[in-house]
Amino acid sequence: MPRARAASTTQPRRRARGSLSREEILETGLLIARRDELKHLTMKKLAEALGVTPMAIYRHFRNKAEIVDGVLDMFVRDAAVTEHEASDAPEDWRRWMRLTFGKMFAALVETPGVMPFVSTASRFGPAATAAVDAILGVLRRAGMSERQAVDSFAVMCAYTIGAAGLASTWRAVESAKDPEEGRRRMRLAIESTPRDEFPEVVTAASDLARILQSFPFELGIELLLQREIAE
């Protein structure tokens, strides 16, 4: 009679001592952020994904806050928002900004789990500092004062983060249903609003249904770029 096979364990194979690096920890943290959102990152979950004990991670980072800071900076580095072919010459600054913040918007929509942390970050990591420096440099060369450049940067960042939050939410809703059917139902719901009370809303029902399912990021950033920032 064959011998019964021993039950297999679920514990990961122990890694060689010293084989873990800060880079690998942060890369794994970013993968978790992409899959489960950064707010769900725990030392236990990170250690399990790496096949180590939490203590091995603490040899590289003092606490979870340091890991979150590192993950955010790696996210910025991978997004490479300022690395594109558009010229950063003064006469081309608007095109450069469109592409830069367009890349930022796309990266945030793809990884919405980092947004609560990006919008409340108290300091910049190396990659984020380099991106901010590049953006401010382009704005300054375009003729803005230091204050105008900082205000313009802050406004475009706030708009981009907010727009990405809305777009990613609507995208998640759309993935659960047929977009065209969802848009049709939304239009009908808007059209059912009393026309005598809200005539403009009912008249714009089709466009409102469209806009509520496809955020017009490019239009918004274009409007911001056309405004003059007062001193």
Q: What is the pLDDT of residues 12-58, one digit of tens each?
A: 455 556 678 999 999 999 988 888 778 888 899 999 989 898 899 99
Report the C-alpha gap between 152 and 144 in whole angstroms.
9
Per-position pLDDT tens, the chain of length 231 = 444 444 333 444 555 566 789 999 999 999 888 887 788 888 999 999 898 988 999 999 988 888 998 999 999 999 999 999 888 888 899 999 999 999 999 999 888 888 878 766 656 789 999 999 999 999 999 999 999 999 999 999 999 998 888 887 766 555 445 667 777 888 888 899 999 999 999 999 888 887 766 778 888 999 899 875 555
Predicted confidence at residue 101, as pLDDT, reads 96
Report the C-alpha gap between 20 and 122 in whole angstroms.
28
Predicted confidence at residue 124, as pLDDT, reads 76
Predicted confidence at residue 107, as pLDDT, reads 93
**Cα 202 off chain centre by:** 34
Asked whether 204 and 152 are in contact (CB, 8 A), the reply is: no
Domains parsed from the chain with CATH numbers: 22-61 (1.10.10.60), 90-226 (1.10.357.10)
Asked whether 221 and 101 are in contact (CB, 8 A), the reply is: yes
Predicted confidence at residue 9, as pLDDT, reads 39
Predicted confidence at residue 60, as pLDDT, reads 92
Degrees to nearest 5, angle at CA 155 with 108 and 41: 30
Q: Given CA atoms 146, 91, 98, 183 in this order, what sign does their dihedral have?
A: positive
This prediction has a pTM of: 0.74
